[in-house]
Amino acid sequence: MGYLTTNLRNDFSAIYNDAKRTITIQVVTRTRDDNDDISEATVDTSTNGVVNYVTNDFIDSDFGMLSTGDAVCYVLYSETVSRADHIVIGSNTFEVRDIVDFQVEGNIIYKKILLERIN
């Protein structure tokens, strides 16, 4: 890992440590039975993230148009999260719509996650 990657990870960690809050990543597994009914099972992992709530519609450089009620969450590069997983923040549940890895020199510095509120 290069000097730039190390410094950027350290810089992000400093911001992250100041602004983080507890979130729960719910890994969602969907299965279809013989009757074509779909069921979901979740596995919860408590972790931290930096959350920005969308309070007015605006255009994001990575995700395009964001709507009021959505959120953008930043997590450490080591977190495992996939599209269609759920993230619970306080009493609100969001579905992961998109994930962008911020990379330098081929190394992920952090993950930026687009969340759509589902409750």
Asked if 50 and 15 count as a contact pair (C-beta separation under 8 A), the reply is: yes
- Model pTM score: 0.85
| Ordered domains of the chain (ranges, CATH) | 3-117 (2.40.10.270)
Here the tokens at position 67 are: 């709507």
Radius of gyration of the chain (CA): 16
Which residues does 88 contact at the CB level (< 8 Å), separation at least 6? 23, 24, 26, 44, 94
Q: What is the pLDDT along the chain (119 residues), one digit of tens a residue?
A: 788 889 998 998 898 899 999 999 999 888 999 999 999 899 999 999 999 999 888 888 888 888 899 999 999 999 999 998 999 999 999 999 999 999 998 999 999 999 999 98
Task: Answer positive or negative: Cα dihedral of 41, 49, 77, 115.
Answer: positive
